[in-house]
Chains A and B, each alone.
Chain A
């Protein structure tokens, strides 16, 4: 029963504003918008989806797909409107219900391609680049979200991911910067820098554990303290040690996965890439397997859900939490190192730009599961890459609007299809043994 229905406590057969109806209204509005958009476009316009590699411009292995923009948008707009209307009307007959739900799923699937086609409107748009960019920009978000999962599944809130990332970005880069002078091969120096970055994240996580597990400080407060501390300490380090010289270093080098990198198109766009990018997939598999298939994962989840039950079975609740918080910090460190070591080869104040918080959002959208969080991070990465691309192409209407749409749709889709995410039950509560 919906909360609204409950509060109003209306008579029988009263109109109920269900979740489905809200989505239906959103679909109607979007459909109308797309429909209107299609009528403003020249009907001769054709958007071509291409798949060529961006850098070499080799002959594409997959044929280009020309899409007549105006008529495509017309069809999609109508589809959205019909689906919205069907879903707004609550069918009693199950066959109709199923049809309207299937159409809703189709609308969801078509949404991103539609945004791409509408945005390109008459130009060529390179799908391979968009996908590769989305994945690349999703890297710190996804890894940050995994860090959050490690911590929160054990029952400790971690809003300090942002701060841990910033610390790792700063100390990783500082290490690399100073090692440059030493007679070390670049790869060795980079590896050491990466390790220091991870340890910096882990060390800050230990501070979080010390405050929130040992002293039972409110975990949100502890996290906030770390975030503020990170901004101060890292900008101090930068001003004292990095600014005086010309601070810049080589980015982490590309790495080609054998065999896979020989594949056409995606071989170069995806399987020839930088190490932290690949680590994202490793961490995805690692987090998923540990959480759901190992003893440690089972204990972690038990501790995050019902610590007292775990305690009665002889599991050391606080020890489990400490270890998870530390691992979480190191993973957050990896995400932080992406900014300074992999993406830019430099360090700037506040360069993580809130990625830690978006990572947390991805974790929640993904319902505290690694695969879900990865999907959410991809969506955010796509939104970022789309924004960058649109700015380069220069489209007729505000870029910010298109940039915003994927987030809005995520909210609606998640609220509609997946429902309320429920966090681990004991998250945020310090465990006190009686």
Chain B
């Protein structure tokens, strides 16, 4: 590791929230033109630390030095003036405004009171060229895919002449291709003298791009790691504080009766266009069927149709031999189906409810939690305390508003709710998106446990590694169809990757209907 001059130093910073010590005398040093990886579990205090550097929170103790001089950062404005830019985990973009308007907001180019969009646009075009950040300055944000929105966020920082860039879990929402694009951009930025703090859960990525790694655990620095001398295993252990098994340990599947049978299913997307086109498959008890595929090939619509959230246009869905085509979500739930939805904020939680109430969203009306028309708050609280403990939701306060939890902990709440019911069929869509290794390990073990206890599991994931390590059979979706179903021992990365790109095999498996 070269000894470039430090551009940002954090010394002994602490931050207390009611009931939680989020950061406990944290030190870190970012050197010029380097990438500092910041690793930690969900709720380890990474975002809190970054928000202090960006002036959104005020530290209780400690100091921050920029280019060797101690600074006071009272608000984002100060941070921007010091050349610090931040790309937040949830993008801070105004949907209805254009790229240019979003970039200039707060630092508008004006003549008199009037905006000079033309000048800002020229500047954006120049930045685009210089850093390879291809984006249309006149596009409206809501029309752009997340990968491009992220570029807009980076341009926003560069437009304000940031030379210290904080990327808070930038790859959590990206496809593998988009991630490669981001890394290319990051390398260009480093060449131009920008220094980057990179927050991620994905150990592979951290090893690939970072020059130095700091690991946070429960608000404290748990250690440093030199990426050239570390492995995923060693980083994971440092992060969780114990040995983590990255490989999923599972026995051979022993499939039983048919639990889910889908026949010639047709589903439309939001625009009314066909998204699932004549799809058939069957799932048995005691097996995990993984659905692989590049996002946007009908997986979302398939899952929504199975769980009663989207109309089936044609075809049939049978769950345990009962025709459940176009059944309501409650009927589906009561038939013993658990559902971990893809978009947890929209379909998984009521963000303004407490953790405790979110944990009974599908069962609150049943006799365990209600007497006649009155809900039994005590039973709900007891249930919540048990699940928060068992599923390690942090902070473990059942009266917290679910929307205030970090993404990973929100996911744990959903998983706790769905896995704790008596479920015969589990439909899990992107169950570990945005989660840290410890949580992923935990959720994967739970999925295998449910399989072994006789439930059928439909796992939809855009993470190929996840599908390959968990599934017993792999179905690949492409343009609304299942183009191949492979047994796990014949499903290697290359074959599945080809199928995901739409290349059909010569020995096309007969679809089991």
Q: Which residues of A contact B (CB under 8 A)?
A: 1, 5-6, 8-12, 290, 293-296, 298-299, 301-302, 305-306, 308-315, 425, 434
A298 touches B101 (CB 8 A): yes
Query: What's the Cα separation between A314 and B80 when bound, in Å?
Result: 8
Across the interface, which residues of B come within 8 angstroms of A299, CB to CB? Answer: 105-106
A295-B108, A313-B106, A314-B77 known; A306 vs B94 contact (CB < 8 Å)? yes
Quick one: closest A residue to B17, CB to CB?
A: A434
**Closest residue to B110 on the A side, CB-wise?**
A295
Q: Which residues of B contact A9 (CB under 8 A)?
A: 311-312, 326
Docked-complex contact B94 and A309, CB < 8 angstroms: yes
Q: How far does the alpha carbon of A313 sit from the alpha carbon of B153 in the complex, in Å?
A: 11
Chain B's closest residue to A290 (CB) is: B113
- Tell me whether A305 and B95 are in contact (CB under 8 A): yes
Q: What's the dominant secondary structure at chain B's contact region?
A: loop
**For the complex, what is the distance from the CA of A294 to the CA of B117, rounded to whole Å?**
10
- 17 A-B pairs whose Cβ atoms sit less than 8 Å apart in the complex: A12-B313, A12-B314, A293-B114, A295-B114, A296-B113, A298-B108, A301-B96, A302-B97, A305-B95, A306-B92, A309-B93, A309-B94, A310-B94, A312-B54, A312-B86, A312-B88, A434-B51
Q: How far is the CA of A308 from the CA of B92 in the complex (A)?
A: 7
Interface size on B, residues (CB 8 A): 38
Residues of B within 8 A of A10 (CB): 311
B76, B97, B113, B114: the one within 8 Å of A313 (CB): B76
Q: Could you say which of A1, A298, A299 has the most chain B C-beta atoms within 10 Å of its C-beta? A: A298
Whether A310 touches B97, Cβ cut-off 8 Å, given contacts A1-B270, A5-B311, A294-B113, is no
Are the C-beta atoms of B97 and A314 separated by less than 8 Å?
no
- Which residues of chain A have C-beta atoms less than 8 A from B110's C-beta? 294-295
**CA–CA, A151 to B334, complex, Å?**
47
Residue in A1, A294, A305 whose beta carbon sits within 8 Å of that of B94 in the complex:
A305
Residue B272 at the chain A interface, CB threshold 8 Å: yes
- Please give me the 3 A-B residue pairs with the lowest Cβ-Cβ distance, nearest first: A313-B106, A314-B77, A9-B311
State A310–B92 Cα separation when bound (angstroms).
8
Residue of A nearest to B77 (CB): A314
Give the residues in chain A near B96, CB-CB below 8 Å: 301, 305, 425
- Return the chain B residue nearest A14 by Cβ: B313
New contact pairs (4) apart from A305-B95, A310-B106, A311-B76, CB-CB < 8 Å: A12-B313, A295-B113, A299-B105, A425-B96
Alpha-carbon distance between A301 and B106 when the two chains are bound, in angstroms: 12
Chain B residues engaging chain A, CB cutoff 8 angstroms: 51, 54, 56-57, 75-77, 80, 86, 88, 92-97, 101, 104-108, 110, 113-115, 156, 266, 268, 270-272, 310-314, 326
| Complex: A309 Cα to B57 Cα, angstroms | 15
Q: Are A315 and B266 neighbours in the complex by a CB distance under 8 Å?
A: no
Contacts of B101 in A (CB 8 A): 298
* Chain A residues in 8 Å Cβ range of B107: 313
Once the chains are docked, how many angstroms separate the CA of A383 from the CA of B96?
Answer: 33
User: Within the assembled complex, what's the spacing in Å between the Cα atoms of A55 and B270?
Assistant: 58
Contacts of B76 in A (CB 8 A): 311-314
Question: How distant is the Cα of A293 from the Cα of B111 in the complex, in angstroms?
Answer: 11
- The one of B56, B113, B313, B326 in contact with A312, judged by C-beta atoms closer than 8 angstroms, is B56
Within the assembled complex, what's the spacing in Å between the Cα atoms of A299 and B110?
Answer: 13
User: In the complex, how many angstroms separate the beta carbon of A108 from the nearest chain B beta carbon?
Assistant: 25
Q: Are B271 and A295 in contact (CB under 8 A)?
A: no
Option from B88, B105, B310 in Cβ contact (under 8 Å) with A302: B105
Q: Could you say which residues of chain B place their CB within 8 Å of the CB of A434?
A: 51, 56-57
Please tell me which one of the listed residues B57, B75, B314 contacts residue A314 in the complex, with CB atoms under 8 A apart. B75
In the bound assembly, the distance between CA atoms of A157 and B96 in angstroms comes to 19
